[in-house]
Structure 1
C-alpha cells in the first residue's frame, strides 16, 4: 500500500490518507487490478482492507484524528455484513478505530446491481463507516448514481479539475456539483490537484477537502509530508 494525504483547507491540516494498492515492483492500482480475476476479487478486496488497516495502525500518529480511506469493489462484496468481518477483525487486532475508516467505491467499476450497492452503503453506515463515491463526474460515477445513493462524501474526478482555472465550463460544472452536494448534505473533495491555480479556484467554489500531487505524491508504506508547490512543508508523521 501507498498512502496519499487528503488536506482540509478549512482547518489547515491533514484530514486523512487514502490507501492505494501497489504491485511488488511499484505498479499502480490500475495495473494491479487488471490482473485480478473475477473469482479472486473477494479475497483480494478483503486482503487489501486488512493490509491498509494494519499499516495505518502503525503509521498514523496517535494524537491525530485521521481518516483512513479504503477503496472497495462493490461487485466483490457478496453479502455486506459477512464481508465486513475481516474489517472488524483487523480493526480490533490492530487497535484501529472503526469510526476512522472511509470506504470509497472503487474507480471505474460499473455497479451491476444498484440494490446491492444500496445494501452495502446501508450496512456500512450502520457500523459508523464513512462512505464515498470516487471519480465523481467521470465514468460510471455521475448524477444518476448520486440520485440513487447519497454517500457521505463525493470526490470530484481529476478530469473535471484539470485546468479548471482557465475553463468557465469546468467552473460551472463544479459549482453545480457543490450546490447539489450542499443540498444533500454531502461533503465534496476535489482530487488530482496539480497547481496552485486549480486549488485556489476550487477553494473559492466552496470545496474544503483536497487531494493531489500539488500537496503530496503517494509514498509506499509511508505517510508523505504535505507541501505547497514544494515550498512550505508540514511534517505529519509521529
Structure 2
C-alpha cells in the first residue's frame, strides 16, 4: 500500500514539475585541449532543489516510468536553449537525448528553429548527445531519424563510449560527429596501461574519421596531462569546471597547464 502511495506521489510531483516547468539547467564546459578555450557546454537538467526528483537520475527515471519522457526531454531541451548565454557564436550546446525516444512510436519533435533564432543560435550550435538510458533497437530507423536533423545543421554525439558493446555498435552505425569517452576509461588513466592503449585507439580512430573526441570526468591533473599529450581533442570534468547555472570560466592555471603539456607532451606516454 505504501509503495503504491509513494508511486502516486512521485507521479503527481512529476506532473506538477512538467506543468509549471520547474526544472533548471546547469552548464559544464568542454575545453579544446589544443587551445585551452571553451568549445561548448553540456546542458545538465535538474529538478527543483526541494523535490524528491531533484537529481537527474530520479527525474528521468520517473518520467520513463510514468510515460512522460518525451514531455520532459522537450522541456529540458527548451530550457537549456533559452538559458544558454555563451561568449561566442561558434560555441556548441550539447543537449542530452535519450535513445529510448528513437525507439518510440511517438517521437518527440526536435524542431527548435524558431526558438533557436529567438535566442541567437542556429542548428549548427546544437549537438544532440545520445545517452544510454536504453539501447537503440532499430538502427535503420535511428539513422533516418537523426539524418533528418543533420540535414538541418544539427550534430550528433554518442555518450558513454567504451563501457559496452551497444555504444560501440552505435558508433559504427550512426557515424557521430562527436564521441564522448566514459569516465570509467578516464579515471586513473595515467596508472593503467590498458586504458592508455584503448584511448590511443580512440584517438587514432577519431582522427581518421574526422570525429571530435571528448574525454569526460577528468578530476586529476595527471589525467589531463596525459590526455593532452595523447592528442585527445576535448576535455570535460570537475578539474576544469563544475556545472553551474551561469556558464563557468576555466581557471587560468588550468589553461596554462594545458598549454604546458600541449607543447611539452611528447614524452613517453607508457612509462
Q: What is the TM-score when the length of structure 1 is the normalising length?
A: 0.87
Larger proportion of helix? 2
**In 2, Cα distance between equivalents of 1:198 and 1:228:** 18
Where in structure 2 are the equivalents of 1:73-84 lying within 5 Å?
73-77=98-102, 78=104, 83-84=109-110
**In 1, Cα distance between equivalents of 2:90 and 2:205:** 28
- Larger relative contact order (Cα-Cα within 8 Å, sequence gap ≥ 6): 1
- 1:80–1:119 Cα contact (<8 Å) kept: no
Between 127-136 and 31-40, report the one with greater CA deviation.
Answer: 31-40
**In 2, Cα distance between equivalents of 1:65 and 1:223:** 15
Tell me, yes or no, if structure 1 residue 184 matches structure 2 residue 209.
yes
Match of 2:79 in 1: 51
Between 98-107 and 207-216, report the one with greater CA deviation.
Answer: 98-107
Structure ID, larger Rg: 2
Give the CA deviation at 1:163. 0.5
Tell me, yes or no, if structure 1 residue 126 matches structure 2 residue 151.
yes
Between 181-190 and 26-35, report the one with greater CA deviation.
Answer: 26-35
Give the CA deviation at 1:204. 1.5
Tell me, yes or no, if structure 1 residue 227 matches structure 2 residue 251.
yes
Tell me, yes or no, if structure 1 residue 7 matches structure 2 residue 31.
yes
Give the CA deviation at 1:88. 1.9
- 1:108–1:139 Cα contact (<8 Å) kept: no
- 2:40–2:93 Cα contact (<8 Å) kept: yes
Match of 1:89 among 101, 104, 114: 114
- 2:27–2:43 Cα contact (<8 Å) kept: yes
Where in structure 2 are the equivalents of 1:1-238 lying within 5 Å?
1-25=25-49, 27-37=54-64, 39-56=67-84, 59-61=85-87, 63-77=88-102, 78=104, 83-85=109-111, 87-139=112-164, 141-219=166-244, 221-227=245-251
Change (3 A) 1:96 1:169: same
For structure 1, the 5+ residue unaligned runs are 234-238
What is the SS of the residue equivalent to 1:34? Answer: helix
**In 2, Cα distance between equivalents of 1:74 and 1:36:** 14
Cα deviation, 1:31-52, whole Å, max 9, x if unaligned, reads 2211113521111111111111
- 2:157–2:178 Cα contact (<8 Å) kept: yes
- 1:215–1:228 Cα contact (<8 Å) kept: no
**In 2, Cα distance between equivalents of 1:18 and 1:52:** 9
**In 1, Cα distance between equivalents of 2:144 and 2:156:** 12
